[in-house]
């Protein structure tokens, strides 16, 4: 890994924005599936089912949507009451079109990855650890 790649921003926020735009452009409803047990997730407790929450991100359903690099933020009504919703990128498990399930699923991230900065040019060691397989993309239905 070169020094330039070590400083690059994560791809996940960009992929989420791209899939969101693609879903909207195809006149579908963008939903995100989130792990509600992750740190810093702010959603109404009544929306949580089995530790997860599905959020409708359609422009008609949310106000002040911000698909940022660190998190997704917006205001929405739940049971008629307005709430600010904050979902860190690490908590986003999938983004998909409600109508047909097409979208993208993301691998669950380690809790440590939320807080640990990448090491700066540390010399690599030969530790004989098995190499992790690359994550595979799956269609969410």
Q: What is the CATH number of the domain that holds 58?
A: 2.30.30.220
- In this prediction, residues 29-35 reach a mean pLDDT of 97
The first and second tokens of residue 132, run together, are 């992790």
Closest CA to 32 of 95, 78, 103: 95
The pLDDT value recorded for residue 7 is 86
| Nearest-angstrom CA–CA distance, 61 and 84 | 13
Residue 115 has pLDDT above 80, yes or no: no
- In this prediction, residues 11-15 reach a mean pLDDT of 95
Domain for residue 55, yes or no? Answer: yes
Q: How many domains does the structure of the chain reveal?
A: 1
| Nearest-angstrom CA–CA distance, 81 and 37 | 22
Count of C-beta atoms within a 10 Å radius of residue 133: 6
- In this prediction, residues 103-128 reach a mean pLDDT of 56
The pLDDT value recorded for residue 120 is 43
Domain for residue 131, yes or no? Answer: no
The pLDDT > 70 percentage for the chain reads 74
| Nearest-angstrom CA–CA distance, 137 and 54 | 19
Domain for residue 19, yes or no? Answer: no
Write the DSSP string, 31-52: EEEEETTSTT-B--GGG-BTTE
65: containing domain = 29-101
Domain for residue 130, yes or no? Answer: no
Q: 139 falls in which pLDDT band (50, 70, 90)? A: low
User: pLDDT tens for residues 41-76?
Assistant: 999 999 999 999 999 999 999 999 999 999 999 999
Domain for residue 52, yes or no? Answer: yes
Domain for residue 107, yes or no? Answer: no
pTM of the model: 0.72
């Amino acid at each position: 890994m070169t020094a330039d790649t070590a400083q690059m921003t994560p791809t996940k926020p960009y992929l989420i924005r791209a899939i969101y735009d693609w879903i909207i452009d195809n006149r579908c409803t963008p939903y995100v599936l989130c792990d509600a047990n992750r740190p810093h997730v702010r959603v109404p407790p009544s929306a949580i089912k089995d530790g997860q929450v599905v959020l409708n991100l359609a422009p008609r359903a949310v106000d002040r949507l911000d698909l940022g690099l660190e998190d997704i933020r917006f205001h929405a009504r739940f049971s008629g009451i307005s709430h600010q919703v904050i979902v860190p990128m690490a908590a986003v498990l999938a983004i998909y079109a409600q109508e047909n399930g097409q979208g993208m699923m993301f691998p669950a991230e380690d809790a440590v990855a939320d807080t640990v900065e990448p090491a700066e040019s540390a010399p690599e060691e030969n530790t004989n650890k098995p190499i992790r397989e690359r994550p595979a993309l799956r269609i969410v239905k």
